[in-house]
Amino acid sequence: METGTFCGEAARSLVALSQDLNAAGSGRHQSMPITPVRPSSMLEVIEAVALPAGMPARDETAPGRDAPLGKNADFAPVSTPSAEDVHVLLPCPSTVSAWYLRHVAADVLAGVRSKSGYPVRMRLCGRQITRGFDGVGIYARPDRAYGRVHGVCVCGQSLACPVCAPRIAAFRSAEVADGFKRATAAGYEASLVTFTAPHVLGSTLGKEIDCFGEGWRRFQKGWTADKIRAHSLGSQIGRECTYGAAGWHYHHHQLRFDEPGTFDRERTEAQWLTALDSVGRKWRGAELHAFNAGLVGDEAGARYVAKLATSADAQGRAIGLEVAGGSLKGKNLATLLKLAAGGDDQARAVWVGGVRDILERKVSSVRWSPGLRRKLGMDTEKSDEQIAKEEVVSTDVFLGALNHAQWRGVLECRAEFALLIAANQGRESVNSFLAGLELGQLNDEDPRLVWRKQNARDSVHD
């Protein structure tokens, strides 16, 4: 079987399965025809990543793979796969799951109103064509298992978006590790400090963030706070929020750089407990659980800080998913969204409330102290939205463009990710895929423009 035809069939099977899963998740399950090339390979992978109920293990040493890449690595592109090795065409499970969950998030947020307007941006993430663009460019990406689109808006939400958040997490994690190497090379000592606060059962995430934020502002004020910062180069702070039996839990992980031997752990802990007391949260047990600090001895420790800040709410793709998953006792936003996709109404309500609170307060995953990047000789910090826009690499191959009508048709079928899988197999595969959805070919003229031109000609003749 030729690669183009093969990929087109595989992509259409993914579309059909996505439609089936979406119907099932919304309570409108209908039996839809799915004709995969090889159910034993392709569908097992897709079901494992798209269904919230369970994730069967995948054979990382299957034929067609040079070496095991692990859960966090993309599948390496191959030449012409055999019909028995459909799985080599597909990206890693977390990527497929993320694109599927972005559709779920858009559906869940359809009726949500927010003062910030951000839910609208999340609903349109990966869907709306950027203002000023006539269509959507389709590119092949030889460096990974799926292509990319150009000219589509992204929300840039670093904690809640299933697609943008992992992308931002990976970038921020690398930045934190780079900052750690620069600071320790300059002779500074790195410490990981965790600040937490007792939380109220039944409280919203917004109230927990507000209470913690007020305590944090008081912690940073006064003579004692100045003494704590006196010998510090600066710090990076990551935010983490989880939901468990006791409700929402929000806390900070701080990676700070001090002159060797100057970080006063006892004074810092006392200052934090005083701040908690001032906001009415120094409850029983706070002395044992509200503060923790320790030295970070290597780059892996620094990446762990970035992981705590980003992967907890961004599906853990950046660094060390196993470590992150094992250290969390509650459910993060990604887990809640997966449960909502499976029909859990409580998880749906909790996720909506958490996302709304995060968006209204514009909480981001990682924050640097003022001037730290300049002191370390690093570039100006990029915004989350800049990071969320996929980087253009020199190996990208432009295949063609979709007009507005074609892109709308792809979205209606929830087929944009399947389209990108086809893109990496070439222009012929994309055209075969579009033809299967009755959407024409790449570079077809927009029917609206055709109508306008015809209407203009008719007006002239009249």
Q: Which residue has the tokens 């150009």?
A: 150
When pLDDT is averaged across residues 272-277 and rounded to a whole number, the result is 95
Residues 6+ apart with CB under 8 A from 408: none
* The predicted structure's pLDDT at residue 87: 36
| Lowest pLDDT segment from 23-37, 165-179, 302-316, 347-361 | 23-37
Segment 71-81 shows an average pLDDT of 28
What's the whole-number mean pLDDT along residues 397-409?
94
pLDDT of residue 77: 27
| Residue pair 135/151 in contact by the 8 Å Cβ criterion | yes
Q: What is the pLDDT of residues 103-118, one digit of tens each?
A: 889 989 887 776 655 6
For residue 450, what pLDDT is reported? Answer: 54
Task: Name the DSSP letter for residue 73.
Answer: S
Tens digits of per-residue pLDDT, 411-436?
Answer: 888 888 888 888 988 999 899 889 88
Q: Of 40-54, 64-78, 344-358, which gets the smallest average pLDDT?
A: 64-78
Percentage of residues in the chain having pLDDT higher than 70: 68
37-61 as b/e, with b when 16 or more CB fall inside 10 Å? bbeebbbbbbbbbbbbeeeeeeeee
Give this prediction's pTM.
0.75
- Say which residues have a Cβ less than 8 Å from residue 54's Cβ, sequence separation at least 6: 48
Q: Among 68-72, 117-121, 375-379, name the most confident range.
A: 375-379
- Do residues 97 and 54 lie in contact, with contact meaning Cβ atoms separated by under 8 Å? no
Q: Per-residue pLDDT tens for 219-229?
A: 999 999 999 99
Q: Is the pLDDT of residue 361 over 70?
A: yes
- 190 CB contacts (<8 Å, ≥6 apart)? 180, 183, 184, 255, 256, 257, 295, 296, 301, 302
Q: How far apart are the first and last CA of the chain?
A: 54
Mark residue 171 as left, alpha or beta (left: phi above 0; alpha: psi -120 to 50; beta: remaining).
alpha
Closest CA to 137 of 391, 399, 389: 399
Does 88 score more than 80 pLDDT?
no
Confidence of residue 93 (pLDDT cuts 50, 70, 90): low
